């Protein structure tokens, strides 16, 4: 007798991706400056830990909020009791105002059209449930965040069809790539329900340009499909060009609910406080849509992953402090720019270049010249050496479905300056060894570990080679 469901026993979660396997190796041997200085440095985690002091300073100055008090009186019982899943009005108002501020107040958002979710993961999956049936497809430009293979597909049954982008034009989306993806979906007997983009891009660290956004609007208008714009990194843009939201493009083209309801109702924005405020543990995400039916359905679904009332209360006060949010956004962007410069310049000094980027918590790093051959197998071999010998956890491009071997995502905002410098120093020594012809030397224990990885990843390597 089958005791567990097919969903519980299936192997479609994506946990066997090299993106997640790198995390597993880090957790077995995490770097610590004092306790484990030879451990693996975590550079595969897109967390923003650069501005915690600003948040902590605000909390110290507002002890009543942190203590769940209003006008000096405890509201603990009020917050501890059941709250409607529509969310606290004060928090929704503060959140949409913060979203507008990040976008230079060029667009505004109606709090009645926002749905609160337990992080962006929940927001994206909820949209899949609202917009697609099992077996329907969404088009995603490559390279894309590895977690989408889990978030969009695992429970919903939706499929992903890649929009193949490449380095020849810095991985920008083209009309031909969009149409080729549609043809691929047709060959797979999949009905395309929409396009999902991350803007700014994870893993590229770049913002979509105006031409790309207009192309996407025209494309979904022609095909009568949806567009999901995941904008969770919108507040991390630290250099020009500035961030342009898809909502700004709609308004500039006078696409409104009155003039073009068929288009306006098919554009949806995902947001989160995980990256801009560095609060992934608070589990605060949101869906913004002008489609009343989508908002109503997503609100009902949000009851399976609510944001706690305590979190909403605290953050409504923090985000409602306009003086603080303006200072935070500006200072956080300065710190991200400085840390980004540290990584890029450090890598350049050892002969490794990065894609020119202006946002995010990571760099898209070009190590194609370090490959033994122009294959994904060679990429995996290099990545395993970096994990085991250099002891850095970075994410290989193949885990992001990149079409070209040799690209890696390297995160810079989740570790200290000293740790980042150590990581660059380790990589410098490794590159020097490769250049001197001694890079192949390793211990018997390392060979045994690598054999295990080859066994676990061999099927995925073959899949990438066939693409």
CA atoms of 33 and 388, how far apart (whole Å): 18
Percent of the chain with pLDDT over 90: 76
- Among 307, 257, 324, 304, which Cα is nearest to 110's? 257
pLDDT of residue 13: 66
- Give the structural domain span for 428: 6-46+367-466
Position 443 confidence tier, pLDDT thresholds 50, 70, 90? very low
pLDDT of residue 455: 39
Q: Strands 114-117 and 69-70, how do they pair?
A: unpaired
CA atoms of 326 and 337, how far apart (whole Å): 17
Residues 35 and 73 in one domain: no
Residues 293 and 159 in one domain: yes
CA atoms of 71 and 176, how far apart (whole Å): 59
| pLDDT of 39 higher than 60 | yes
Residues 398 and 444 in one domain: yes
Residues 151 and 212 in one domain: yes
Dihedral sign (CA 7, 305, 295, 256): negative
Contacts of 339 (CB under 8 A, 6+ apart): 50, 412, 413, 417, 420
pLDDT of residue 138: 97
Residues 277 and 304 in one domain: yes
- Among 240, 312, 245, 247, which Cα is nearest to 88's? 312
The 10s digit of each residue's pLDDT in 185-224 is 999 999 999 999 999 999 999 999 999 999 999 999 999 9
Tell which of 307, 325, 343 closes a domain. 325
User: CA triplet 58, 200, 296: central angle to 5 degrees?
Assistant: 80
Residues 307 and 248 in one domain: yes
Alpha helices in 2-145 (DSSP H): 6-9, 18-28, 52-61, 63-66, 76-80, 89-102, 120-131
The pLDDT of 12-34, averaged and rounded, is 82
| pLDDT of 227 higher than 70 | yes
Residues 194 and 81 in one domain: yes
Q: The domain spanning residue 247 has which CATH number?
A: 3.40.640.10
pLDDT of residue 81: 83
The secondary element (H helix, E strand) that includes residue 161 is: strand 159-163
Percent of the chain with pLDDT over 70: 91
| pLDDT of 80 higher than 60 | yes
Of 379 and 23, the structure prediction assigns the larger pLDDT to 379
Contacts of 422 (CB under 8 A, 6+ apart): 41
pLDDT of residue 260: 74
Residues 104 and 177 in one domain: yes
pLDDT of residue 445: 41
Residues 100 and 39 in one domain: no
Burial (Cβ within 10 Å: 0-12, 13-18, ≥19) of residue 176 = exposed
The pLDDT of 32-41, averaged and rounded, is 95
Give a yes or no: residue 239 inside a domain: yes
The secondary element (H helix, E strand) that includes residue 230 is: strand 226-230
CA atoms of 164 and 175, how far apart (whole Å): 11
Q: Three-class SS of residue 180?
A: helix
First to last CA, the chain: 39
Least confident of 79-93, 134-148, 265-279: 79-93
Exposure on the CB side of residue 26, measured as CA atoms within 13 A: 18
The 10s digit of each residue's pLDDT in 369-406 is 999 999 999 999 999 999 999 999 999 999 999 999 99
| pLDDT of 82 higher than 80 | no
The 10s digit of each residue's pLDDT in 242-253 is 999 999 999 999
The 10s digit of each residue's pLDDT in 293-306 is 999 999 999 989 89
Secondary-structure breakdown of the chain: helix, strand, coil percentages, each rounded to the nearest 5: 50, 15, 35
Give a yes or no: residue 135 inside a domain: yes
Residues 233 and 121 in one domain: yes
Residues 307 and 170 in one domain: yes
Average pLDDT score over the chain: 90
Burial (Cβ within 10 Å: 0-12, 13-18, ≥19) of residue 253 = middle
405 contacts 360 by C-beta, under 8 angstroms: no
Residues 293 and 371 in one domain: no
Contacts of 435 (CB under 8 A, 6+ apart): none
Which residues are catalytic, by number? Answer: 145, 230, 232, 275
């Amino acid at each position: 007798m089958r005791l567990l469901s097919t969903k519980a026993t299936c192997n479609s979660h994506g946990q066997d991706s090299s993106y997640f396997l790198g995390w597993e190796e880090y957790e077995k041997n995490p770097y610590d400056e004092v306790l484990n200085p030879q451990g693996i440095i975590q550079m595969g985690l897109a967390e923003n830990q650069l501005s915690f002091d600003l948040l902590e300073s605000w909390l110290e100055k507002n002890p009543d909020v942190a203590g769940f008090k209003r006008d000096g009186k405890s509201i603990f019982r009020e917050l501890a009791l059941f709250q409607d899943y529509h969310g606290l009005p004060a928090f929704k108002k503060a959140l949409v105002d913060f979203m507008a501020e990040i976008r230079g107040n060029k667009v505004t958002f109606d709090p009645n059209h926002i749905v609160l979710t337990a992080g962006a993961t929940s927001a994206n999956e909820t949209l899949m449930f609202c917009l697609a049936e099992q077996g329907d497809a969404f088009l995603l430009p490559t390279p894309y965040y590895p977690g989408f293979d889990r978030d969009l597909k695992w429970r919903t049954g939706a499929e992903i069809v890649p929009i193949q982008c490449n380095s020849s034009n810095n991985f920008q989306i083209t009309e031909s790539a969009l149409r080729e993806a549609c043809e691929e979906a047709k060959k797979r007997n999949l009905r395309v329900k929409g396009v999902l983009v991350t803007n700014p891009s994870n893993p590229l660290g770049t913002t979509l340009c105006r031409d790309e956004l207009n192309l996407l609007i025209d494309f979904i208008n022609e095909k009568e499909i949806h567009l999901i714009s995941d904008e969770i990194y919108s507040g991390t843009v630290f250099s020009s060009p500035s961030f342009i939201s898809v909502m700004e493009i709609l308004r500039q083209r006078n696409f409104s609910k009155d003039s073009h309801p068929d288009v306006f109702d098919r554009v949806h924005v995902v947001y989160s406080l995980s990256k801009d405020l560095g609060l992934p543990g608070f589990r605060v995400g949101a869906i913004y849509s002008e489609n009343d039916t989508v908002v109503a359905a997503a609100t009902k679904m949000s009851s399976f992953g609510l944001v706690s009332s305590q979190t909403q209360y605290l953050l409504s006060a923090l985000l409602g402090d306009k003086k603080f949010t303006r200072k935070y956004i500006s200072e956080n962007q300065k710190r991200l720019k400085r840390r980004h410069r540290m990584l890029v310049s450090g890598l350049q000094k050892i002969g490794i270049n990065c894609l020119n980027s202006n946002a995010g918590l990571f760099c898209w790093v070009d190590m194609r010249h370090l490959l033994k051959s122009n294959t994904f197998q060679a990429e995996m071999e290099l990545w395993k050496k970096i994990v085991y010998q250099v002891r850095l956890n970075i994410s290989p491009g193949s885990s992001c479905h990149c079409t070209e071997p040799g690209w890696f995502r390297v995160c810079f905002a989740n570790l200290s300056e000293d740790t980042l410098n150590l990581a660059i120093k380790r990589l410098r020594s490794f590159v020097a060894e490769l250049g001197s012809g001694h890079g192949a030397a390793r211990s018997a224990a390392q060979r045994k570990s690598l054999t295990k990885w080859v066994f676990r990843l061999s099927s995925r390597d073959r899949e990438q080679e066939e693409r």
